[in-house]
Amino acid sequence: MRVSSRVVEVKTFGPLELHPVTQIVENIVRGSCSGEGIAWISVEGATPALLILEKGSEKMFIEYITKLVPISGWRHGNAYAHLTSTLVGTTLAIPIIEGKLALKPNQELYLLETRFVYNHTRRLLIQVHCKS
């Protein structure tokens, strides 16, 4: 099994803004694997998150997560960001089939910026494990 790793920086803004990163991960997979394997994607930090959504459901997801974890009312200023990150998660594993991410055509991989930040740099760690 061959393993390759990359770190990619993504500029974000927030709060609760979704940043599509499917193309970034697909480009790395394309250059690393032509067969079967798995892509591990992780985002550094205590407050960002990673998720897969169907295109068109982004607004519904943000409305839902905001009801579940409201932004205001916390004693600690960005406690909502830590809790959202914990609930949604910071790591994904996506199968690779015939050199492509096993995502449906209507699915998108997103980096969720939870904090009130502008022009923030988030680091995605992408590791591709490939049998080819």
pTM score above 0.85: yes
Q: Where are the alpha helices (DSSP H) in 20-78?
A: 22-32, 58-68
Domain range for 54 is 2-130
Overall average pLDDT of the 17-38 stretch? 96
pLDDT for the residue 26:
97
Residue 7 CA to residue 21 CA, distance in Å, equals: 13
Q: Locate tokens 């985002």: which residue? A: 43
Domain count, the chain: 1
pLDDT tens across 114-125, in order? 999 888 999 999
Q: Nearest 5°: phi and psi at 95? A: -60, 150
Question: Chain-wide mean pLDDT for the chain?
Answer: 95
CATH value at residue 54: 2.60.120.460
pLDDT for the residue 74:
85
Question: Angle 79-88/58-68 helices, nearest 10 degrees?
Answer: 120
Cβ atoms of 102 and 6 closer than 8 Å? no
Letter for the amino acid at 125?
L
Q: Which two tokens stand for residue 82?
A: 């830590």
